[in-house]
Structures are given as structure tokens and as C-alpha cells.
Amino acid sequence: MTHAETSTAATSSHGAVPKILIVGGGYAGFYTAWKLEKHLRKGEAEVTVVDPLPYMTYQPFLPEVAAGEIEARHVIVGLRRHLKKTRIVTAKVTGIDHATRTATITPAEGEPWQESYDQIVVTAGAVSRTFPIPGIAENAIGLKTIEEAVAVRDRILTNFDRAANLPAGPERDRLLTVVVVGGGFAGIEVFAETRALASSLLKDYPQLRFEDTHFHLIEAMGRIMPEVSLKTSEWVLKDLAKRGANVHLDTQVTGAVDGNVELSTGETIPTDLIIWTAGVMANPTVVRGSDLPVEERGRIRTRADLRVGTPEEIVEGAWAAGDVSAVPDLTGKGVGGYCVPNAQHAVRQAKLLAKNLVAVLRDEVPREYIHHNLGAVAGLGLYNGVFQSGNLALKGFIAWCAHRGYHGLAMPSWERKWRVIGDWWHNFWLRRDNVSLQTVQNPRYVFEEFASRPRPAAPAAAPAAPAIDPKSVAAEKSAAAEPKVEEKASAAS
């Protein structure tokens, strides 16, 4: 038997075809499964992806979705459409017992079950990291999901419709005020994109002026966008200031009760939209329900070859990649020695993880992950952007072209690429849509308002009173008036 034949015949410890379980169908999970379909031979392994959502979201495009430049469905990738050889399970992984190679799968309906595996790949991503600030949990919204991006867009459009009917005053100001918390790339992009959206809407609302719109960015540090040079970040600040933006540096949010954003400077900003982008954390549902090793920041401890463990010890059969993992940055440029949580690392880690997993199945040596940062690129609204790679910095229209070019090519599959490019092309000629679909959150409101309902049942009739004979009534009265025989005798004695 040849080496290839021996590899193809690889089996799990219990004699069956090896089972690969991928926890999370986001950027890293989708790419891992996509590349496994390419690298695995027929019958070499069974791959299962478990995620509560049936699609992957291309998160770098969320600010453009929030600004109405890309249709929401076009920045998500359907798992079942693009993973033809992979079993897709729409559910949550709520527990991982690697000691017994089982995971607890919890669906939205039905009872949880135990799923056995031989190799597990944890790519559960990250969620918004918040702090116990009064009012934030009740009033703010993140920017990690497609649903959040759509909600931001619809809220801005709806608020313009409502504000146009109000006289100048505190209530109109509140509706036309947007507060973004966090000055990293995600915060700056959604801040600039929504500022551009609001400016573009003014021509359709003659009742409103540019001065009526108020955009505030809150950043706890003394600068924005630590991914670029200080000089480049200062240029971004000046560019935002030209467009009427208010940036509060060295400032923290201390409260947000009833939408009144209280700042550490003592200022209070009433608003109807608070967008929280101040950091992320590894998916706690998966990490806390697992017996895999975790480092101090709550991420799964991962080796440079993307196997779970440390340089000295390997957790056999366990892999991790993306935002949920702490992967050493062998270039020496990572924060704290680890790769920063971004899409650039997630997709490259996933591609190598797929190759390494197949190599281990074939008794080959996996390779270590090393990736030199290509640079940072951000969109700042239509025809404006910033790009930094080493000492090279591009600004304005050229950087905006680089931003769209890079992310357009990075979007998975040509089917998705053409949809996104089509949106850009149509909006170039036809402008972006300015119609809010906020009522989609309550799609039955018209039906419920006019739907016919059964009439309430008539109250039960009281029992009929018996018929009364007038002669009997007169006789009873007469008898009552005459004393009885015993009473008369008693009176005589």
C-alpha cells in the first residue's frame, strides 16, 4: 500500500472516519471548513460546523451597511450554499468536554445532545466587550452583527423622518444626535460613515440644516486608531472636524440612563443612538463551557501551529483560530506578543489551520503561523479613506479606492463579490437608498391594527322571576295584619 493510500485510510480511534467539529461559522470557521473541503480526500474525514446562525458575516463591511452603501444580505455568506460537503448544524455549542471528545449542542428548539468528535476546531469569534456602566446595556447597540448594522441605519433614517416634523428644540436635537463609543478602526469607520450618511440626507429634508445634526465620538485614550501612526491619526481627526464631528479624547462614559450620555468631563449628551465599539472579548459561552486551557484575557491558549496548548505541551485533537484564540505573533509586532483580533489574521489562520489539520491526519508535520501585517485601511465615507503600511500613508480618495479594492477582493466567493460590487456600481449612479425599514422589527403591525376580531360573548341572561298572583299578595298582607288566635288569648289574660 502506498503512502497516499495509507493516509486516505486514516481512521479515528474507534475505527470510523475521523470526525472534525468546527465550533463557530464566522470568518475563521467558514474559511476552515471551506479549505478543508478543498484539501481533504473523499472519505478522509467528516466535517461539521455548528453555529447559531446559518451564515458568516463579513464584518469589515458593517460600517458601509450601517451607512446604506451595501445591502445587508450581500455581506453575509450562506453556509449551506457555499459548504456543499460539510454538515451544517444551526445551534449553539454550550459545552466542550475534550477529555471525552464530546461537545454539548443546544438548539433553539428541542433537547440538547452530545456530539462526539476526533478533532475540534474552536473558531467561535468574539462579542462586544462592555463595562457595568448604568444605562449602556439598556440603551446602546454594538456593531458585531449584520442585524446591528441594519438597526443603526434604520434608526438614523427614522429619526430624520421624526425630527423633520418637530420644531427646533431639545427633542429634535436628541433625535439628530449620534454617539459612538470607541476610537479604534470599527468606531472610526462607523462614525465617519454614519456622519456621511446624515450629511447626504439633508438635501431630502429642507426643514433640517447641517448644524442640527450632532455626532460625538468618545475615546478613553489620548488618540484614535492605534493601528496607524500618530501623524495619520491626527490627519483623520482634522478631516472629521471639517465634517462637523466632535471627538472627545481622554474621556470616559460614566452613564447612559434614558439615553443621556454622561461623560467623565461632566458633560451630558442626550441622544437616541449610542453605538458601542469599545473593544471585544472572546465568546464567553464557548470559552467558559470548555475544559480547554485559557489565558489571562479569556482566550483559548493556542500554539503558533494553531493547535491548542503551549510551546511545551500540545492538547491533542484541539485547534483554535480567530478572535477566540491567543495565537503567538512570531513577527514580534503583536500586542502582548499575540496576534491582534482582526479579519486579516482570522482568514489567514483559518487557511493554515485547514492545511495543518489535514497534515496531522496524514501523520505530517504542521507549519507555524507567521504573517507580516499588510497594513491598515479604513473607509471614512464616500470617496474618503486612510491607508497605512509601514511608513507609507495614503489619505483621501486613493486610500478609499485601496479600502474598497482590498475588501472587495477579500469577500469570500465570486458570487458575494459581484453582489457587493453591484451595490457600489448602482449607488454610484443612483445614490444610496434613504428609506428606513425599521418597522420590519414588527412586521405585523398593520395586519394587527386592521384585523377583524371575534366580538366578545354576550353576558349570560339572568334567570326569569316567577309570575306573581295579585290576589295571593293581598291575602298574604291581610293575614299578616290579623293577630293569631294564641296572641289574642294571651292579650285577654
Q: Where are the domains of the chain?
A: 19-128+281-361, 140-278+376-439
Digit-coded pLDDT (tens) for 300-326: 999 999 999 998 999 999 999 999 999
Please report, rounded to a whole number, the percentage of residues in the chain having pLDDT higher than 90.
76
pLDDT at 486: 45
Query: At residue 212, what is the residue type?
Result: D
Q: Give the three-state DSSP class for 114.
A: strand
Strands (E), 292-336: 300-301, 307-309, 314-320, 325-326
Distance CA 291, CA 445 (A): 46
C-alpha cell at 390: 509601514
- Mean pLDDT of the region 46-53: 97
Residue 333 pLDDT grade (very low, low, confident, very high; cuts 50, 70, 90): confident
Report d(CA 276, CA 148) in Å as an integer.
11
Is residue 205 very low, low, confident or very high in pLDDT (cuts 50, 70, 90)? Answer: very high
pLDDT in tens, 381-434: 999 999 998 889 999 999 999 999 999 999 999 999 999 999 999 999 999 888
Residue 199, C-beta contacts closer than 8 angstroms, at least 6 positions apart:
210, 213, 243, 244
- Per DSSP, what are the bridge partners of residue 47? 20
Q: Which contacts (CB < 8 Å, 24+ apart) does range 264-268 have?
A: none
pLDDT confidence tier of residue 341, bands split at 50, 70 and 90:
confident
C-alpha cell at 75: 455581506
Question: Is the pLDDT assigned to residue 440 strictly greater than 80?
Answer: yes
- The CATH T-level fold of domain 140-278+376-439 is FAD/NAD(P)-binding domain (3.50.50)
User: Which residues lie across from 102 on neighbouring strands?
Assistant: 97, 116
pLDDT tens across 127-153, in order? 988 899 999 999 999 999 999 999 999
Sign of CA dihedral 33, 36, 38, 41: negative
Asked whether the CA dihedral 240, 242, 246, 250 is positive or negative, the reply is positive
The residue count for the chain: 493
Residue 335 pLDDT class (50, 70, 90 cuts): confident
For domain 19-128+281-361, give the CATH superfamily: FAD/NAD(P)-binding domain (3.50.50.60)
Residue 338: φ, ψ to 5°: -115, 160
Residue 12 pLDDT greater than 60, yes or no: no
Q: How far apart are CA 335 and CA 323, in angstroms?
A: 13
Do residues 197 and 153 lie in contact, with contact meaning Cβ atoms separated by under 8 Å? yes
Distance CA 174, CA 265 (A): 20
User: Which of 119, 123, 155, 145 has its CA nearest to residue 51?
Assistant: 123
Global pTM reads 0.86
* All three cell numbers of 321: 483560530
Neighbours of 39 (CB within 10 A): 15
